[in-house]
Amino acid sequence: MWQQESKSVYDNFVLRNKTLILFFVFVFFLLATRLFQLQIISAKYYALVSEKQCLHIVLERPQRGKIYDVNGDILANNEISFAAYFYPFFQRNAPSQETINKLQKISRKKNLEEIIQRGYKIGKSVKIAGNLSFEEMLRYSEQKVALPGLSVVKESRRKYLSATQNAHLIGYVNEISKEELDTTAEEYADYQPGDLVGRTGIEQSFDSYLRGNNGGWQVEVNAQGKQTRVLNRIDPVAGSDVYITIDNKLQEVATQAIAQTVSGRGALVALDTKTGAVKAFVSAPSFNPEYVGTPKFSIYLTDDTSPLFNRALKGLYPPGSAFKIISLLGALENGNISVEGTFFCNGSLKVGDKIFHCEGKHGEISAIGAMTHSCNVYFYNLALKTGSAVLEKYARYFGFGEKTGIDLYDEKSGLVPGREWKFNKFKERWQTGDTLNMAIGQGQVLCTPLQLAQMISCAANKGYIYRPYIVQSIKNKQSNEVLYSATIDKRLSVKASEKNWQILNKALESVIRNGTGKGCYLGSIRVAGKTGTSQTSHGTAHAIFVCFAPVDDPQIAIAVIVENGGSGGTAAVPVARKVLEEYFKIVEVKKEKDDKKQ
Ligand SMILES: [Zn+2]
Distance 320 CA to ligand 1 centre (A): 15
Distance 438 CA to ligand 1 centre (A): 16
Mean pLDDT of 209-226: 79
Give me the percent of the chain exceeding a pLDDT of 70: 86
Distance 217 CA to ligand 1 centre (A): 75
The answer on pLDDT for 11 being more than 80 is no
Is the separation of the CB atoms in 295 and 339 below 8 Å?
no
54: left (phi over 0), alpha (psi -120 to 50) or beta: alpha
Residue 234's H or E segment, with its range, is strand 227-234
Distance 310 CA to ligand 1 centre (A): 35
Residues 6 or more apart in contact with residue 262 via CB below 8 angstroms? 562, 564, 565, 566, 571
Mean pLDDT of 216-231: 71
Is the separation of the CB atoms in 534 and 442 below 8 Å?
yes
Distance 517 CA to ligand 1 centre (A): 16
DSSP string over 48-77: HHHHHHHEEEEEEPPPPPPEE-TTS-EEEE
Distance 349 CA to ligand 1 centre (A): 9
Distance 401 CA to ligand 1 centre (A): 28
Distance 360 CA to ligand 1 centre (A): 5
Distance 383 CA to ligand 1 centre (A): 14
For residues 401 and 386, give the distance between their C-alpha atoms in angstroms, rounded to a whole number. Answer: 20
Distance 186 CA to ligand 1 centre (A): 57
Is the separation of the CB atoms in 153 and 82 below 8 Å?
yes
Distance 440 CA to ligand 1 centre (A): 12
SS3 label, residue 264? coil
Give 303-332 pLDDT, tens digit per residue.
999 999 999 999 999 999 999 999 999 999
Distance 532 CA to ligand 1 centre (A): 14
Distances (CA, A) of 408 to 312, 314, 348, 468, 576: 11, 11, 43, 10, 23
The answer on pLDDT for 3 being more than 50 is no
Distance 531 CA to ligand 1 centre (A): 15
Question: Of 438, 428, 433, nearest to 355 (Cα)?
Answer: 433
Mean pLDDT of 442-471: 97
- The residue that leads in pLDDT, 42 or 96, is 96
Give the chain's domains with CATH numbers.
Answer: 58-244 (3.90.1310.10), 248-290+308-592 (3.40.710.10)
Q: Which of 11-20, 22-31, 227-236, 295-304 has the lowest mean pLDDT?
A: 11-20
Distance 121 CA to ligand 1 centre (A): 75
Distance 364 CA to ligand 1 centre (A): 9
Query: Average model confidence (pLDDT) for the chain?
Result: 88
For residues 278 and 280, give the distance between their C-alpha atoms in angstroms, rounded to a whole number. Answer: 6
Distance 442 CA to ligand 1 centre (A): 16
Distance 504 CA to ligand 1 centre (A): 19
Distance 507 CA to ligand 1 centre (A): 16
pLDDT classification of 582: cutoffs 50, 70, 90: very high
Distance 520 CA to ligand 1 centre (A): 22
Distance 375 CA to ligand 1 centre (A): 4
Distance 519 CA to ligand 1 centre (A): 21
Distance 356 CA to ligand 1 centre (A): 11
- The residue that leads in pLDDT, 169 or 41, is 169
> Whole-prediction pTM value?
0.84
Cβ neighbours, 10 Å, residue 79: 9
For residues 461 and 467, give the distance between their C-alpha atoms in angstroms, rounded to a whole number. Answer: 13
Distance 529 CA to ligand 1 centre (A): 19
Give 482-522 pLDDT, tens digit per residue.
999 999 999 999 999 999 999 999 999 999 999 999 999 99
Distance 365 CA to ligand 1 centre (A): 8
Q: Which of 213-217, 229-233, 289-293 has the lowest mean pLDDT?
A: 229-233
Distance 374 CA to ligand 1 centre (A): 7
Is the separation of the CB atoms in 258 and 266 below 8 Å?
yes
Distance 363 CA to ligand 1 centre (A): 7
SS3 label, residue 550? coil
Mean pLDDT of 544-570: 96
Distance 503 CA to ligand 1 centre (A): 20
pLDDT at residue number 45: 43
Distance 456 CA to ligand 1 centre (A): 23
DSSP string over 436-476: HHHHTT-TT-BB-HHHHHHHHHHHHTTTEEE--B-EEEEE-
The answer on pLDDT for 446 being more than 70 is yes
Distance 316 CA to ligand 1 centre (A): 27
Distance 368 CA to ligand 1 centre (A): 13
Distance 358 CA to ligand 1 centre (A): 5
Q: At what angle do helices 388-397 and 324-333 cross, to 10 degrees?
A: 110
Distance 359 CA to ligand 1 centre (A): 6
Distance 344 CA to ligand 1 centre (A): 8
Distance 388 CA to ligand 1 centre (A): 21
Distance 378 CA to ligand 1 centre (A): 6
Distance 432 CA to ligand 1 centre (A): 19
Distance 491 CA to ligand 1 centre (A): 35
pLDDT classification of 260: cutoffs 50, 70, 90: very high
Mean pLDDT of 525-537: 94
Distance 345 CA to ligand 1 centre (A): 5
Give 374-407 pLDDT, tens digit per residue.
999 999 999 999 999 999 999 999 999 999 999 9
Those residues whose beta carbon sits under 5 angstroms from the ion ligand 1 are 345, 358, 362, 375, 377
